[in-house]
Amino acid sequence: MSPIATSTAHYHEDASSHGKELSKNPHVTGKVSGKETEKLVINTIRCLGADLCQQYKGGHPGTVMGAAAIATALWRYSMRYNPANPEWVNRDRFVLSAGHACLLQYIMLHLSGYPTWTLDQIKKYHAPTMDGIAAGHPEIEFPGVELTTGLLGQGIANAVGLAMANKNMAATYNKQDFPLIENKVWCFTGDGCLQEGVGQEAISMAGHWALDNLILVYDNNSVTVDGNIDICFTDDTNAKLQSMGWHVLEVSDGSNDLAAIVDAFDQAKKLTGKPVFINIKTIIGIGSANQNSGKVHGAALGEDDVANVKTALGFDPKQKFFVDDKVYDYFKDTTTKGAQWESDWNDLYERYKKAYPKEGAEFQRRLEGKLEEGWESKLPPKESLPKDPKATRQTSGIILRSVVPQDNSFFVGSADLCESTFVNWDGMVEFQNPETGYGDYSGRQVRYGIREHAMVAAANGLAAWQKGAIVPIMSSYFIFWLYAAPSLRMAALMKLRFIAIATHDSIGVGEDGPTHQPIAFPLFLRALPNFNYIRPADAEEVAGAWILSLKDAEHPSLLSLTRQPVPLLEGTDRNKVQYGAYIVKGDEKEVPDVTLIATGSEVARAVDTAKLLEEQNGYRVRVVSMPLTARFDAQPVEYRRSIIPSSKSLVVSIEPYASFGWAKYAHAGAHMTSFGHSAPYSVLYEHFGFGPKNLAAKISTWAESKRASDGKGWEIPGVGEFEELLLNKGH
């Protein structure tokens, strides 16, 4: 049987800043209950882990077994939560960055008394069923899971976002004697998340902001899928975390020494001024014949080994999924304490609302996921928008400044391009550690640094914090959003609301050249389920894009904005952006000879092209702006056909991205067939063929080749006949 010995928690502190070493041999606090029960609890978790993976011969048993003591410390002693109400606003948050170890979390949710997490539910882990909640990675839809994790590194950044949210809410609403928000965010990580770039970015951010409400628990088992960790990862992790502004604690026997773990967690909760990293050495798959090896990471142990484990731990090898009543008893306290905590908090909140009615009402509104009443009316109407050509990144700034400053729901930031993306405003306060002198935690302008990936992953944490209470707005140049693609995808999977301001889209980037000109990336965002990729044509559609994004609480939105100026168009209408596509030029009742579909900065070019085709060729031309393809696809077929009459009209799509996807709507298209080039945007537009004169020439030549033999009307091309009208040879 694995012994549960009392060991020590060593405290490391950056010598240059403090130099002191706290409690090298701390006394175990009185909290830890009788040793025998502890052994039983920890071994029960291990055997459950072995059984539940063996059941359907799959899953990740190693961490369940190795980190059972850590989990016991967290759920039994260290975290503050109420199992009966997983949504209690002032709970501690737990994020499993090592999402593949979800079975450990599920077992703990069960043992600690979350009603939904019955033993039967846990038994559905890896079962051939669609109705389980014990998914292969933790999913936000289920109680006790803060965010969906499993793509390595994301969880650390999500946890940073939750910690930011708590800091900001506390700084905004807490009052003397009214600690409305006062809790910790616990994040459980393996080495994988620490190796990933997004994890490192997030760690650096958290250190910069001195998020001392964040505790990162490192399950340091020294084993990876492919073997010992030192085949690929030999950082001095403690020193690295210290260099990024973290407190560092260490526990030497984290698989067994519950007392030391609890003690380290107690210390972590008391430390201030920096986030806390706890490096806990564990033995993966402890008890298995293959313990301490990659073999126990992601595969069931096998019947024989499971039996051996149980025998070694004093369990009956024939009994599966066994939980002694003593184990449940051991966790009974969590339900009682949790109810008390929440009840005390509810009292506090009631008193708060009386003492601070304005703040209380605002806090309550945000908990209900509502924005400030009447926000939409604060947007400038079309007639007040600038008449002269402006970049849509600029007009987005106008909209932002009309709604964001006065509503604390908005949490705005950029990856070091605040002024260029127009997300700043007069009088804004930066979200900063007050000691820096740059701002404080009530600030809502966030300097994410040049860390796009962690910016979005953290924003997912912000958006998930009491979903709807915070609307994260982040910004960067469009191409750098590709760095954050995994987190954009996770936001869509989790159905979180945020607004991503992506400026400098398409070849309009100009001189910075092909590295910075997105050609294919936008198409990924169009293909992504639950995601609003919006490319507004002008300031009016920018307003529409903001309205749509803010009203759609179940989707993240990305606004694809120009670097270069575009005119305010006569036919644009903010209220029609929600339909995905609509007519900006031409009569709805008349079937056009040619329908031009364009997006963003090309809508104005399409309008100019249409005029040329009308003048030079006598065509009836309709121009359709299609800012959001997914919304258009979701319209009734009658609407779609009324906008794009592709069975009667020749349809041409115009957009300086790859043509991929456009054959769904158009018979031919003017698109990029290569990467871009480094030159001023006006030169590029001409070179690649997007000048209205060239477009009109190419379109009319193509159209004439489709003249019906009787000279009247057109031979409408069929599926499979899509033609590229521009064949450019760039990179």
**Could you give the count of Cα atoms lying within 13 Å of 103 in the half-sphere of its Cβ?**
33
The residues, any chain, with a CB within 8 Å of residue 602's CB and separated by 6 or more, are 654, 655, 656, 690
CA end-to-end distance (rounded Å), the chain: 64
Question: Does 233 engage in binding with a copy of itself (CB under 8 A)?
Answer: yes
Residues 6+ apart with CB under 8 A from 139: 133, 145, 148
- What is the closest distance, in whole angstroms, from the C-beta atom of residue 669 to a copy of itself in the complex? 10
Alpha-helical regions (H) of 414-484: 452-464
Q: Which is nearer to a copy of itself, 45 or 658 (CB)?
A: 658
Q: Locate all alpha helices (DSSP H) within 217-302, ordered by sequence.
A: 237-243, 258-270
CB of 328 to a copy of itself, least distance (A): 27
Residue 631 annotated as binding site? no
Q: Is 644 in the site for a copy of itself (CB under 8 A)?
A: yes
Q: Which stretch binds a copy of itself (CB under 8 A): 113-121, 228-236, 258-266, 343-351?
A: 228-236
Site for a copy of itself in 449-478 (CB under 8 A): 449-454
Interacting positions 375-414 with a copy of itself (CB under 8 A): 414
Tell whether residue 239 is a contact of a copy of itself (CB under 8 A).
Answer: yes
Six token digits for residue 350: 């009631």
Strand order in the sheet with 214-220: 9-12, 247-251, 276-281, 214-220, 185-189, 93-96
Nearer to a copy of itself by Cβ, of 262 and 456: the residue is 456
Give yes or no: 250 in active site. no
In the region spanning residues 57 to 96, those forming contacts with a copy of itself, defined by CB under 8 A, are: 58-59
Strand partners, 413: 446
- Of 305 and 452, which has the nearer Cβ to a copy of itself? 452
User: Cα separations (Å) of 370 from 155, 161, 299, 463?
Assistant: 26, 20, 45, 13
Q: Pick the catalytic residue: 250, 452, 540, 541?
A: 452
Q: Which amino acid is it at 433?
A: N
In contact, 173 and 426? CB cutoff 8 Å: no
Dist CA 93 CA 91 (whole Å): 6
CB under 8 A: which stretch of 30-38, 302-310, 428-436, 618-626 binds a copy of itself?
Answer: 428-436
- The smaller minimum CB distance to a copy of itself, of residues 147 and 561, is found at 147
Residue 551 as a binder of a copy of itself (CB under 8 A): the answer is no
Q: What are phi and psi of 223, to 5 degrees?
A: -130, 140
Q: Which two tokens stand for residue 439?
A: 């701002």
Report how far residue 204's alpha carbon sits from residue 199's, in angstroms, rounded to the nearest whole number: 9
In the list 39, 110, 247, 677, the residue contacting a copy of itself (rule: CB under 8 A) is: 677
List Cα–Cα distances, 272 to 246, 432, 681, in angstroms: 10, 15, 51
Min dist. Cβ of residue 472 to a copy of itself (A): 17
Q: Is 208 annotated as a binding residue?
A: no
> Residue from 281, 444, 516, 698 that binds a copy of itself (CB under 8 A)?
516
- The residues that bridge with 11 in the sheet, in sequence order, are 249
Counting contacts by CB under 8 A, is residue 680 touching a copy of itself? yes
Question: Is there binding between residue 224 and a copy of itself (CB under 8 A)?
Answer: yes
Residue 563 marked ligand-binding: yes
Which stretch in 251-259, 285-293, 498-506, 512-520 sits in contact with a copy of itself by CB under 8 A?
Answer: 512-520
Q: Would you say 258 is a known binding-site residue?
A: no
Least Å distance, CB 42 to a copy of itself, is 26
- Window 119 to 178, contacts with a copy of itself (CB under 8 A): 126-130, 132, 135-137, 139, 141, 148-153
Known binding-site residues for thiamine diphosphate equal 100, 150-152, 192, 221, 297, 480
The residues annotated as belonging to the active site are 452
Annotated binding site: 60, 100, 150-152, 191-192, 221, 223, 297, 393, 420, 480, 504, 512, 516, 563
